[in-house]
Amino acid sequence: MADQTPAQPTATADQAAAAPLTVVHQYLKDFSFENPNAANGFTPLTTMPTGFIRVDVRVKPMTPPDIEVSLFLAAEAKIGDTTIYVVESEYAGVFRLGKVPQEHMLPLIMIEAPRLLFPFSRQLIATAVQAGGFPPLYINPVDFVQLYRDRQPDLQEAIKEAQASESAKA
Q: Tell me the H-state helices in the chain.
A: 13-18, 102-107, 113-131, 144-169
Number of domains forming the structure of the chain? 1
pLDDT in tens, 52-95: 999 999 999 999 899 999 999 999 999 888 899 999 999 999 99
Task: Kindly state whether residue 169 falls inside one of the protein's structural domains.
Answer: no
pTM score above 0.85: no
Q: What is the domain-level CATH number for residue 117?
A: 3.10.420.10
Task: Kindly state whether residue 167 falls inside one of the protein's structural domains.
Answer: no
Task: Kindly state whether residue 165 falls inside one of the protein's structural domains.
Answer: no
- Chain-centroid distance of CA 148 in Å reads 13
Task: Kindly state whether residue 74 falls inside one of the protein's structural domains.
Answer: yes
Please state, for a pLDDT cut of 70, what percent of the chain lies above it: 80
Q: What angle do CA 85, 87, 93 make, to 5 degrees?
A: 170
Look at residue 49 in the predicted model and tell me its pLDDT: 84
Residue 154 confidence class, pLDDT cut points 50, 70, 90: confident
Task: Kindly state whether residue 96 falls inside one of the protein's structural domains.
Answer: yes
Task: Kindly state whether residue 23 falls inside one of the protein's structural domains.
Answer: yes
Task: Kindly state whether residue 6 falls inside one of the protein's structural domains.
Answer: no
Look at residue 162 in the predicted model and tell me its pLDDT: 65
Domain of 31, in residue numbers: 19-156
Q: What angle do CA 120, 124, 127 make, to 5 degrees?
A: 135
